[in-house]
Amino acid sequence: MKKALIITLTLILALFAINCSEDVTPSYLLTLTIAFPDGFTAGDMPDGVTVTAENTQSGRQTSGTADATGTVVFELVEGTYNFTTSFDLTVESDEYTFNGIMTNYSHLMESSATLQLVLAGNSGDFIFKEVYFSGSQTPEGKNYYGDQFHELYNNSGDTLYLDGLCLGVLYPTSTKPSEWSNEDGSLMDVLPLTYHVWTFPGSGTDHPVLPGEGVVIAQDGIDHKTDENGNPDSPVNLGNADWETYVEVAGKDLDAPGVPNLTMMYTTSTSMVDWLHSVFGAAVVIFRLPTDWESYVANPDNFMTRPGSTSSTEFFMIDKSYVVDAIEIVRVEEDKRYKRLPVELDAGYTYLEGGTYCSKSIRRKAKMIVDGRVIYKDTNNSTEDFLHDVDPTPGVNPTSVEN
C-alpha cells in the first residue's frame, strides 16, 4: 500500500512538472549589432550606449549596453519586439545625434539582427514646443476638444519667419498602420496629409519670430474657461493665442475676434467644423513647400488616393524633405502604436498615458537655458525629446533644465 502511494505521488509530481514546463515561455539569445550610416564606423561607438527592447505584447522593457564594437546580446522570451537607441557622439569637436529603431521584430529562436542608425538632422528652424490634443471634459462629463492648440518655437539663434510655413496631420490618424508603405514594409518618402492643411500668410518677412520666442495656434482662440462657447473645466485660456485655425468652408466655425487666421490650403472634408488633431494622437508636421501654395495645390501630381482603396478621397502629399519638424504621437494602447513618420523625421514616438480628454499635453524637454533663452531638446526622437502627461502651458517656458 505504501509503495503504491509513493508511485502515485511520483506520477502526480511528474505530471505537475510537465504541465509547469509547458507554461514556461522559452527564451533565446539575440545578438544585436548597431550599424552606423555612411561616414561613420563602429570605431566611433561611444561608451555606455543603451539599447532598449520592448515586448509589444506585454510592454515589458529590457535594456542592454553595447560593447566597443556596437554589439548587444539579449536573452529574451519569444515574442515580437521593438528595439530603440538614441545617443550623442562628438567627433573632432562636432556633435552628432544618432537614433535607431527596429519595430515588430519576431524573436522565435536564437538569432542575430542589425539595428540601423539614422543621423538626426537639426535644421535650426521652427520646432513643435507643445501639443495639447487630448481635450477635456465638461462639468457634465461631456467630451470637449475645442481647446486644442499647437505651439511652435524658434529654437535657433536667428530670427525666423512664419510666412509660408505649413502645418498638417498625417493619415491615418490613430488606430491602424499606414498604407503608404513599400514592399519591404518601410514607409514611403511621401507623406499623406488629411483633414485641413494650413499655411501662414505673408510675403516672406511679415511675421518674424525672434530666437527663444514662439507662437500658439489655437483651434478656437477664446478663453475656454470663461467663454460661453467654452468649457469651464478646460485647462487653457487661448483668448490671447497668436493664430487660429478658422474653418470657414464648413460655415459653422466661430471666428475669434482679434486672433488672426491661418490660410487653409486644402481639406479632405468640407463638412468638418473644426480642424481636429485626433484626441487619440496623430503624426503632425510643419513643413515648407518648394513653391507657392497656390501653384502646389493646382498641380494634380501632389495628390493621391489611398493605395489599394476604391475611395476617391485625395490626400495632400508632401515629400519628407519638405518637413521642418515632426512628432509621432500614438495611442496609449501598446498594440495600436503604429509609425506613420519615417525614422529620419522621428525615430520614436510619444503618447498620453491619461488617454483621451485628460486635459494633459506633451511638451518638449528644456535642454539648456542660455541668458534666459530656453533651448529645447531636438534629436528627432519624440521618445527622448518630449515630456508627456503635463499640464498645458501655452506661451510659457520652463525655468530649469529637464531630463
Give the start-end residues of each E strand in 242-344: 243-244, 263-267, 283-288, 303-304, 315-319, 323-328
Q: pLDDT higher for 17 or 101?
A: 101
Yes or no: say if 155 and 397 are a contact pair by the CB < 8 Å rule. Answer: no
Yes or no: say if 301 and 279 are a contact pair by the CB < 8 Å rule. Answer: no
Mean pLDDT of 192-216: 97
Q: Report the range of poorest mean pLDDT among 39-43, 148-152, 248-252, 368-372.
A: 39-43
Question: How many CA atoms lie less than 13 Å away from 69 in the CB half-sphere?
Answer: 7
pLDDT tier at 99, thresholds 50, 70, 90: confident
What is the sign, positive or negative, of the torsion defined by CA atoms of 355, 357, 361, 362? positive
Of 51, 65, 55, the closest CA to residue 104 belongs to 55
pLDDT tier at 370, thresholds 50, 70, 90: confident
pLDDT, position 293: 98
pLDDT, position 23: 55
Q: Is the pLDDT of residue 178 over 60?
A: yes
Yes or no: say if 283 and 340 are a contact pair by the CB < 8 Å rule. Answer: yes
Domain ranges of the chain: 7-119, 126-390
pLDDT tens per residue, range 286-338: 999 999 999 999 999 999 999 989 999 999 999 999 999 999 999 999 888 88
Which three cell numbers, joined as nine digits, stand for 102? 527596429
Which three cell numbers, joined as nine digits, stand for 236? 487653457
pLDDT, position 181: 86
Q: Cα separations (Å) of 396 from 214, 256, 362, 363, 401?
A: 9, 22, 14, 11, 14
* Beta strands across the sheet bearing 27-35: 61-65, 50-55, 79-91, 94-107, 111-119, 27-35, 71-77
Give the whole-angstrom CA distance, residue 147 versus residue 211. Answer: 27
pLDDT, position 14: 52
pLDDT, position 383: 94
Give the whole-angstrom CA distance, residue 141 versus residue 231. Answer: 11
Give the whole-angstrom CA distance, residue 114 versus residue 34. Answer: 6
Residue 103 burial (10 A CB sphere; 0-12, 13-18, 19+): middle
Of 364, 369, 368, 366, the closest CA to residue 390 belongs to 364
Return mean pLDDT, the chain: 90
Domain 7-119 has CATH 3.40.50.2000: no
| Number of neighbouring beta carbons within 10 Å of residue 50 | 13
Give the whole-angstrom CA distance, residue 267 versus residue 253. Answer: 15
Q: Is the pLDDT of residue 396 over 60?
A: yes
The reply to whether omega before 172 is within 30° of 0 (cis) is yes
Q: Which long-range contacts (CB under 8 A, 24 or more apart) does 303-311 make?
A: 304/190, 304/192, 306/171, 306/179, 306/192, 307/179, 307/180, 308/179, 309/179
Percentage of residues of the chain with pLDDT beyond 70:
92
Q: SS3 for 180-198, per residue? A: CECCCCCECCEEEEEEEEE
Predicted TM-score (pTM) of the model is 0.79
Residue whose grid cell is 502511494: 5
pLDDT, position 5: 46
